[in-house]
Amino acid sequence: MMVLTSLHYLYMIMVVIILVIMLMKKEIVIPCIIGIFAMGLLYSGSGVFAVQSIFNTIIYSGNEFWGIIVIISLVVAMSKALQAIGADVLIMSPIKKVMVNQTMAFWGIGVTMMIISWLVWPSPAVPLIGAVLLPAAIATGLPVIYAAVAMNLFGHGVALSSDFFIQGAPTITAAGAGVDVTEIVKASIPLWLTMSVVTVVVAFIMMKRDLKKNPQLAYFIDESVKSEVKALGKTAKLIAVLTPLAFVVDIFAMVKFNLAGGDATALVGGTAIIIMLLTVLTSFKIKDGFEMVVDYIKEGFKFGITVFAPVIFIGGFFFLGNQGGATAVLGEGAPGILNDISIYLSQSIQMTKLSTILTQTAVAIITGLDGSGFSGLPIVGTLAYTFSNFIDIDMAGLAALGQIITVWVDGGTIIPWAVIPVAAICNISPQELARKNLVPVMCGIGAAIVVALVIL
């Protein structure tokens, strides 16, 4: 029987406090710092160690986010170079013919994000969509917050929770459940379809409702995604053709060479740098290009660091909940707090079909609180195997339910520190994006639970 310690209870108390403060629409960096210090002090009994824990947690968290910070910064730097010669306006021109209104923009940017995310995962898809499609979508009157919602729900939700092509998520889940990955994929389809359709439809309805209540939303265009009207540079047309072509080539390369995750993101980042260099060196005098490239890089990283600075502190606290973060900061022997809490819940509740599904759902959500990606998948897979030994229930389906919910949360769509890439590329608050996603995602989870009760 799993026994929770005072460290587990302290972590849960701090999570509740942080969530309450978040619901009050206040920044949560201060409680996160307090939580890190308190956990370091309670675990070690040393004030010196507790103070060091704050710094070490920030370093660990920063390392986790560094790849995202760099790719966002490089894409912004590239975008600044494109804006300088007017190439971004030319890139948008043909896309505007398809994105003729808010509805087409919402579904267009969402479905495109889903397709690319299936092929290469959402991390490299975000800067691709952000660089090429986002300005065109905003130009139709689609509010930037709902452009972000569409990108996030379709990419980090619909695509990543199924992961039909790369199959990273179902492979991890299947390993935990002790079944073949094809069983997880097949069992996930009705649950995934229910969750996805309900979530995106509710989000679309909410967008229409908000636009009806506040029509001015359609006319507010954030300056960060609005191109300045400039005279076209001498190579603007060439760069406008090469930029989307380069990213299309990236996608083919990712598929051909099986590049995913960090490898795919690296390809996109390198491409962004090359496009920036080509833009500057072919459009301006070479002697000016040396300084201009540095200026664009500074602007890009200024944007990236500004967005991520508070998130590093927030993510740091929640990383202490998983085994890797706790071990890195607190030392060997530190507990995997979220894993322990999940196991405790599964052992403490009497199992029926309803309680099994609800427990699996709760565990999936809890393990998703660290927002690190797939950390909860081995747990929900293992729990599905465990539960199936005590109750007559479809093990693969139960594991798939846990996978879908964990990825929707952890991948993620409703945890502010997990929606950072999309929020950053759209220049909006992660908390605001998470709040917009919350109702649609919870409706989707509720619908998935109902379907699970019927088919499992």
pLDDT digits (tens, 9 = 90+) for 319-333: 898 888 899 999 998
Lowest mean pLDDT among 7-11, 65-69, 259-263, 410-414: 259-263
Q: What is the pLDDT of residue 222?
A: 52
Q: List the alpha helices (DSSP H) in 86-143.
A: 87-96, 102-120, 122-132, 134-139
pLDDT digits (tens, 9 = 90+) for 419-434: 888 988 888 888 899 9
Q: Across 20-108, where does the E strand assignment appear? A: none
Q: List the alpha helices (DSSP H) in 389-426.
A: 395-410, 420-426
The three-class DSSP label of residue 210 is: helix
10 vs 117: CA distance, rounded Å: 37
Instruction: Answer for the pair 170, 396: CB distance below 8 angstroms, yes or no.
Output: no
pLDDT digits (tens, 9 = 90+) for 58-103: 999 888 878 878 887 888 898 889 888 888 778 767 766 788 889 9
Q: What is the pLDDT of residue 372?
A: 57
> With 0-12 CB in 10 A as exposed, 13-18 as middle and 19+ as buried, what is 84?
buried
pLDDT digits (tens, 9 = 90+) for 206-251: 999 998 888 776 655 555 554 444 556 678 889 989 988 998 898 8
Q: What is the pLDDT of residue 230?
A: 53
pLDDT digits (tens, 9 = 90+) for 301-350: 998 888 778 878 888 888 898 888 899 999 998 998 877 887 887 777 77
Instruction: Answer for the pair 251, 119: CB distance below 8 angstroms, yes or no.
Output: yes
Q: How far is it between the farthest Cα atoms of the chain?
A: 73
Prior bond of 130 cis (ω within 30°)? no
pLDDT at 447 over 90: yes
Give the mean pLDDT of 33-53.
Answer: 96
Q: What is the pLDDT of residue 229?
A: 47
Give the mean pLDDT of 182-202.
Answer: 95
Q: What is the pLDDT of residue 23?
A: 64
State what percent of residues in the chain have pLDDT above 90: 37
Q: What is the pLDDT of residue 388?
A: 83
Q: Residue ranges of the domains in the chain?
A: 6-215+231-455
Q: Across 152-222, where does the E strand assignment appear? A: none
Task: Give the chain's length.
Answer: 456
pLDDT digits (tens, 9 = 90+) for 124-169: 788 878 877 888 888 888 999 999 999 999 999 999 998 887 777 8
59 vs 443: CA distance, rounded Å: 36
| Nearest residue to 38 via CA among 20, 15, 19, 59 | 15
Q: What is the pTM of this model?
A: 0.69
Residue 58 CB coordination number (10 Å): 17
Average pLDDT of the chain is 86
Residue 256 CB coordination number (10 Å): 8
